């Protein structure tokens, strides 16, 4: 028996969905406007997870252009049937309701390649898919009620899918409006069949503080469904905002080969007040069945800090679990970019990258030259060493990103004929605020080391040249960066960026290395 510490996937890995094939578990999470999209993980014991690849990983699979922060890919569901992996998901463009929608992709190997999307003729979000033992296939999801009794009232629908044509067929059935009268966002529905009974698991009350998990059951897949008298069967909202874990919800169930049951779900870890800079993370907890109902975290009733998995061997946490420290090389699957793949502006070079400056900036819903990693630790250093001969108005540096309107940049820019200056800027609510400046020694093209040093909610921005001790340019307040303060659904990403700020350019920034260095007590 091995004990794993929650969360099993730290950092912004929300909306987990899981399935088992033999002795192997596979898991996927949301990625919003970041590409490649929908990371796919593998484990044999629910403790040690290795990323195999991404579902959306090549040009032309999906069009993200112009999608604003916290839009993009929402709430995938992953299932396996007859040798094929099936995944349904939603592409959301919050500025254009006619764009995107629910889609289906398939693969015979979870590492890919995955098919091009097949669009499903239904609106709403959070689609799921269920393979019944009679050979029929059912898709289900969530949407707002057209004539609601209360604000943000939603309904869960189910409809049959023809697996040959991948088209929805037959009548639609509305099977759920939530366990509680007046509840908002009954979403993330998943159907299961256990002991001949159909179970509907759903999240409720919005993916924030009041998030909860509820369950209902029926004798037929189309209902009627009767809710558990104990609903919600899991929530942390009664623990208050000072709890170490909040927002528990969006769960998915899986049965292990030994007959034990488990749930993966999202939740957040606040620190420095009611702020969760790491975003919505993936947690694990045990499930048992009592009197025909699932019981989450029996005897505890909340997400445990540590989970014992009887069939697990020695833990081997990898990079995606925050288990590695040091240089993050170009082939590392943690690298992401915005709305298009990094190959459009970045070329691997040794341990780092050659980064072509782009006129676009982080303040626009486009594809700037930005290569970033999720922040997975409360205390850490992210350090980049860059060499570049900049033209006037150009900048290269590190950025801590929440959205177009809210991010922090530490960058090098040209001053005068040959001078260089390090500048720290906090963009808050769409307005740039200069936090500090520091002149740099040396010549244009000399190496500069930039560091974001996170210690709780203090993000110190440091710079060094020529082997000298780093100097502090400024300290940014992380409490102004998380989604509680800014809105949206994302945790923070930290990475290198390069921009000519709207000017044509041929400048290439040489990023010698980027280091991700957790500070672990």
Active site residues: 15, 187
| Residue 394 CB burial class (10 angstroms; 0-12, 13-18, ≥19) | buried
Closest CA to 188 of 180, 197, 176: 176
Contact assessment for residue 84 and residue 77, using Cβ atoms and an 8 Å cutoff: no
Contact assessment for residue 451 and residue 463, using Cβ atoms and an 8 Å cutoff: yes
| Residue 115 CB burial class (10 angstroms; 0-12, 13-18, ≥19) | middle
**Chain centroid to CA 162:** 30
**199: part of which helix (H) or strand (E)?**
strand 197-204
Contact assessment for residue 356 and residue 496, using Cβ atoms and an 8 Å cutoff: no
Q: What count of Cα atoms within 13 Å lies in the side-chain half-sphere of residue 265?
A: 35
CA angle 244, 245, 250 (to 5 degrees): 180
Tokens 């057209």 found at = 146
The residues, ordered by sequence, that sit 6+ positions from 329 with a Cβ below 8 Å of its Cβ are: 351
Q: Terminus-to-terminus CA distance in the chain, angstroms?
A: 25
Contact assessment for residue 388 and residue 359, using Cβ atoms and an 8 Å cutoff: no
In sequence order, which ranges of 367-427 are alpha helices (DSSP H)?
none
Closest CA to 361 of 334, 401, 328, 330: 401
CA dihedral over 376, 378, 381, 383, signed as positive or negative:
positive
Is the peptide bond preceding residue 193 cis, with omega within 30 degrees of 0? no
Determine the 3-state secondary structure of 321 from DSSP. helix
**Chain centroid to CA 389:** 35
Number of DSSP helices (H) and strands (E) in the chain, helices first? 1, 39
> Cα-flanking dihedrals φ and ψ of residue 14, to 5°?
-90, 170
| Residue 493 CB burial class (10 angstroms; 0-12, 13-18, ≥19) | buried
């Amino acid at each position: 028996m091995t004990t794993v510490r929650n969360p099993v996937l730290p950092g912004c890995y929300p909306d987990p969905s899981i399935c088992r094939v033999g002795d192997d578990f596979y898991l996927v999470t949301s990625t919003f406007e970041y590409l490649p999209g929908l990371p796919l993980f593998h484990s044999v014991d629910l403790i040690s997870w290795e990323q195999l690849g991404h579902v959306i990983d090549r040009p032309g699979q999906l069009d993200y252009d112009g999608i604003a922060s916290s839009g993009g890919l929402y709430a995938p569901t992953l299932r396996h049937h007859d040798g094929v992996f099936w995944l349904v998901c939603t592409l959301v463009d919050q500025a254009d309701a006619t764009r995107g929608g629910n889609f289906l992709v398939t693969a015979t190997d979870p590492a890919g390649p995955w098919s091009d999307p097949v669009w499903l003729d239904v609106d709403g979000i959070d689609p799921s898919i269920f393979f019944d033992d009679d050979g029929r296939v059912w898709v289900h999801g969530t949407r707002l009620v057209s004539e609601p009794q209360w604000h943000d009232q939603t309904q869960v629908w189910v409809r049959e899918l023809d697996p040959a044509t991948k088209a929805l067929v037959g009548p639609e059935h509305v099977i759920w409006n939530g366990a509680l009268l007046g509840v908002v966002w009954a979403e993330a529905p998943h159907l299961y069949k256990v002991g001949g009974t159909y179970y509907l698991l759903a999240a409720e009350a919005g993916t924030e503080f009041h998030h909860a998990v509820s369950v209902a059951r029926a004798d037929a897949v189309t209902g009627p469904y009767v809710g558990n008298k104990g609903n919600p069967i899991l929530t942390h909202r009664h623990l208050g905002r000072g709890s170490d874990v909040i927002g528990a919800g969006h769960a998915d169930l899986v049965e292990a080969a030994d007959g034990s049951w488990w749930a993966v779900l999202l939740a957040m870890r606040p620190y420095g007040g009611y702020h969760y800079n790491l975003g919505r993370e993936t947690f694990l907890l045990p499930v048992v069945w009592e009197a025909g109902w699932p019981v989450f975290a029996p005897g505890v009733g909340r997400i445990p800090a540590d989970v014992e998995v009887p069939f697990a061997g020695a833990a081997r946490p990898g990079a995606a679990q925050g288990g590695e420290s040091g240089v993050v090389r170009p082939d590392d699957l943690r690298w992401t970019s915005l709305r298009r793949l990094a190959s459009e502006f970045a070329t691997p070079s040794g341990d780092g990258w050659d980064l072509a400056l782009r006129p676009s900036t982080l303040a626009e819903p486009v594809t700037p030259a930005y290569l970033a990693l999720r922040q997975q630790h409360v205390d850490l250093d992210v350090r980049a060493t860059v060499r570049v001969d900049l033209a006037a108005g150009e900048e290269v540096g590190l950025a801590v990103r929440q959205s177009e309107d809210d991010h922090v940049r530490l960058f090098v820019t040209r001053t005068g004929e040959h001078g260089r200056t390090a500048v720290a800027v906090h963009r808050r609510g769409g307005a740039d605020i200069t936090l500090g400046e520091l002149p740099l020694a040396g010549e244009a093209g000399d190496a500069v080391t930039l560091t974001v040093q996170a210690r709780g909610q203090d993000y110190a921005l440091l710079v060094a040249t020529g082997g000298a001790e780093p100097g502090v340019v400024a300290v940014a307040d992380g409490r102004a960066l998380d989604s509680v303060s800014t809105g949206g659904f994302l945790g923070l990403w930290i990475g290198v960026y390069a921009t000519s700020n709207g000017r044509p350019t041929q400048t290439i920034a040489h990023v010698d290395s980027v280091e991700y260095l957790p500070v672990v007590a």
